[in-house]
């Protein structure tokens, strides 16, 4: 399936998924189901729909846009369901929208169609064989759905409890947008590096201050989501989603990507030795010359 047909299928799938998810949520709420459980059930139903299409096209990358498309849908759903429509809810929703636009745009630019599958999913295929689709459902589809939902719950808490310390709404918004912008710039710098035909590891711009500034920006966004909940009050449970995101990126995403880069880039060990692993930190070292010398 070429890129154009693949994109059409993605759009149709997610439109249908949102319609079914919205109707499921509406029915559950009308039946008296509490808002968290209504969201959870609708979210799982939407995940199952996308999973079934993943099986149909034999490509788990069908799930990739879910990470950015469904969260903004859920936030808007909560805002109207709870009738919490005011300056504060609009500011928070705008922060999520900026992030969702950046991430979805980045996915669309890099999407090659269903002739290509994320290298991590290919690794799962090779490792688990006949069990692959069970692993795909649990690890590639359902787990991200649950951790993203957990990370969004601070917004639901804010919409439910209301605002008593409005400064945290604006602070959370700034952090969310800053996180999205860090990832946007990092993605643009990496894309430009690849387009230049440079075979060396990227070591300029934000990539001189973090080996994974795009991942850092993503986690920073989720910190902003948590900060917004402080506008109501501090609740430890609201921090669990953000903590989960930090763990996910540092215990899985970063090691997986670094393993790939060390295997495919002869000079990446120089980056590992000279550039901060995850957090954006001041770094006076310029390793470009070292990379050129080794080349």
Q: For the chain of 295 residues, list the mean pLDDT of each consecutive stretch of 10.
A: 93 98 98 97 98 97 96 97 97 98 95 93 94 96 97 98 97 98 96 88 92 97 98 96 96 94 91 92 70 56
Structural element, H or E, at residue 191: helix 167-195
pLDDT at residue number 293: 58
Of residues 44, 42, 14, the one with CA closest to residue 26: 42
Positive or negative torsion for Cα 263, 265, 269, 274:
negative
The total of other beta-carbon atoms located within 10 Å of residue 73's CB is 19
- Residue 139 phi, psi (nearest 5): -95, -35
Half-sphere exposure of 148 (CA within 13 A, CB side): 25
Q: Can you tell me the distance from the alpha carbon of 221 to that of 183, in angstroms, rounded to the nearest whole number?
A: 9
pLDDT at residue number 198: 80
pLDDT at residue number 199: 83
Vertex 252: Cα angle to 118 and 136 (nearest 5):
50
pTM of the model: 0.93
pLDDT at residue number 32: 96
User: Does domain 85-294 correspond to CATH entry 3.30.390?
Assistant: no
Task: List the structure tokens of 17.
Answer: 């998924």
pLDDT at residue number 283: 81
Q: Is 286 helix (H, G, I), strand (E, B) or coil?
A: coil
pLDDT at residue number 86: 96
């Amino acid at each position: 399936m070429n890129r154009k047909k693949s994109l059409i299928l993605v759009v149709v799938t997610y439109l249908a998924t949102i319609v079914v998810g919205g109707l499921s949520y509406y029915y559950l709420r009308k039946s008296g189901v509490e808002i968290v459980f209504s969201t959870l059930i609708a979210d799982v139903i939407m995940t199952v729909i996308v999973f079934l299409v993943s099986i149909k096209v034999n490509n788990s990358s069908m799930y990739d846009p879910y990470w950015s498309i469904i969260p903004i849908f859920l936030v808007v759903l909560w805002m109207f369901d709870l009738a919490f429509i005011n300056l504060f809810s609009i500011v928070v929703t705008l922060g999520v929208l900026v992030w969702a636009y950046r991430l979805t745009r980045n996915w669309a630019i890099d999407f090659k169609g269903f002739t290509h599958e994320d290298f991590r999913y290919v690794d799962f295929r090779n490792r688990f064989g006949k069990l692959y689709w069970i692993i795909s459902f649990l690890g590639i589809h359902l787990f991200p759905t649950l951790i993203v939902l957990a990370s969004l719950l601070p917004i639901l808490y804010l919409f439910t409890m209301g605002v008593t310390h409005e400064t945290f709404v604006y602070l959370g918004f700034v952090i969310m947008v800053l996180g999205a912008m860090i990832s946007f710039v990092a993605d643009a710098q990496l894309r430009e590096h690849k387009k230049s035909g440079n075979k060396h590891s990227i070591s300029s711009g934000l990539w001189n201050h973090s080996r994974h500034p795009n991942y850092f920006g993503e986690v920073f966004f989720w910190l902003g989501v948590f900060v917004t909940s402080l506008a109501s009050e501090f609740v430890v449970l609201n921090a669990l989603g953000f903590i989960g995101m930090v763990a996910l990126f540092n215990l899985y995403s970063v090691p997986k990507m670094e393993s790939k880069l060390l295997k495919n880039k002869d000079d990446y060990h120089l980056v590992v030795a000279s550039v901060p692993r995850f957090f954006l930190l001041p770094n006076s070292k310029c390793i470009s010359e070292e990379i050129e010398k080794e080349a």
